[in-house]
Chains A and B, each alone.
Chain A
Amino acid sequence: MTTMKEKPMTQTASANGLERPERDFGEGFCLSGETLQKFDREIAKYPEGQRRSAVMACLALAQEEIGWLPRKAVEAVAAYLGIPPIAAWEVATFYNMYDLEPVGRHKLTVCTGLPCALSGGVHAAKYLQEKLGIGLGETTPDGKFTLLEGECMGACGDAPVLLMNNRRMCSFMTPEKIDQSLEGCK
Chain B
Amino acid sequence: MAILGAIQPILTAGLRGDALQGYGADAGWRLADYAGRGGYAALKRILAEKTPPEAVIAEIKASVLRGRGGAGFPTGLKWSFMPRSLPGDKYVVCNTDEGEPGTFKDRDLIRLNPHAVIEGMAIGAYAIGANRGYNYIHGEIWELYKRFEEALAEARQAGLIGENILGSGFSFELFAHHGYGAYICGEETALLESIEGKKGQPRFKPPFPASFGLYGKPTTINNTETFASIPFILNMGGEAFLNAGKPNNGGTKLFSVSGHVNRPGNYEIPLGTPFARLLELAGGTRGGRKLKAVIPGGSSSPVLPADIIMDTTLDYDSIAKAGSMLGSGAVIVMDETTCMVRALERLAYFYHEESCGQCTPCREGTGWLHDVIHRIEHGEGRPDDLETLTHVAGNISGRTICALGDAAAMPVQSFVKHFRDEFLHHIEHKTCLVPKDVQWAGSGFHTITQQVSA
Contact = CB atoms under 8 A, between A and B. Distances in A.
B139 A94 contact: no
Contacts of B89: 47
A155 B177 contact: no
A103 to B, nearest CB: 14
A108 interface: no
Most buried by B among A60, A155, A175: A155
Interface in B169-200: 175-183, 194-200
Interface string A98-116: 1000000000000011111
A18 interface: no
Interface in B226-240: none
A114 B347 CA distance: 6
A52 B197 contact: yes
Interface stretch (B62-70, B379-387, B428-436, B441-449): B441-449
A55 interface: yes
A156 B103 contact: yes
B264 A157 contact: yes
B299 interface: yes
A29 to B, nearest CB: 22
Interface string A104-143: 0000000011111111101110000000000000000000
B134 to A, nearest CB: 8
Nearest to A167: B142
B253 interface: no
Interface string A39-50: 000000111001
Contact of B143 (A83, A90, A167): A167
Interface residues of B, number: 65
Interface size of A as a range = 35 or more
Given A98-B180, A118-B259, A172-B20, A156 B197 contact: no
B447 A95 contact: no
Interface stretch (A1-9, A20-28, A158-166): A158-166
A118 B334 contact: yes
Interface string B131-144: 01010001111110
Contact of A96 (B177, B180, B338): B180
Contacts of A117: 343, 346, 443
Nearest to A59: B180
Contacts of B141: 153-155, 169
Contact of B353 (A81, A95, A151, A153): A151
A94 B199 contact: yes
B327 interface: no
Nearest to A173: B445
B107 A154 contact: yes
Interface string A57-83: 101100000000000000000000101
B195 A53 contact: yes
A178 B338 CA distance: 26
Contacts of A155: 1, 104, 107, 140-141
Contacts of A46: 175
Contact of A53 (B197, B353, B444): B197
Contacts of A97: 139-140, 180-181
A16 interface: no
Contact of A115 (B101, B140, B197): B101
B362 to A, nearest CB: 16
A115 B103 CA distance: 9
B324 interface: no
A168 B143 contact: yes
A174 interface: yes
A47 B257 CA distance: 39
A12 interface: no
Contacts of B180: 56, 59-60, 95-98
A174 B98 CA distance: 24
Contacts of A87: 197-198
A128 B136 CA distance: 32
A152 B334 contact: no
Nearest to A155: B104
Interface string B388-410: 00000000000000000000000
A174 B447 contact: yes
- Most chain B beta-carbon neighbours within 10 Å: one of A83, A97, A154, A159: A154
Nearest to B353: A151
A53 B298 CA distance: 30
A133 to B, nearest CB: 21
A166 B183 contact: no
A156 B329 CA distance: 13
A115 B332 contact: yes
Nearest to A165: B142
Nearest to B139: A97
Contact of B179 (A56, A122, A124): A56
The 3 closest A-B pairs by CB, nearest first: A96-B181, A157-B1, A97-B181
23 contacts: A45-B176, A50-B215, A53-B197, A56-B179, A56-B180, A60-B178, A87-B198, A90-B199, A97-B140, A97-B181, A118-B338, A122-B443, A123-B445, A150-B140, A152-B101, A154-B107, A154-B140, A156-B101, A156-B264, A156-B330, A157-B258, A166-B142, A172-B448
Given A98-B180, A113-B101, A155-B107, 20 more contacts: A45-B177, A50-B197, A50-B215, A56-B177, A56-B179, A60-B178, A60-B180, A95-B179, A97-B180, A113-B346, A115-B101, A119-B260, A152-B102, A152-B299, A154-B104, A156-B101, A166-B140, A166-B142, A169-B140, A174-B447
Interface of A: 45-47, 50, 52-57, 59-60, 81, 83, 87, 90-91, 94-98, 112-120, 122-124, 150-160, 163, 166-169, 171-172, 174-175
Interface of B: 1, 20, 22, 89, 98-104, 106-107, 132, 134, 138-143, 175-183, 194-200, 215, 256-260, 264-266, 299, 330, 332-334, 338, 343, 346-347, 350, 353-354, 442-448
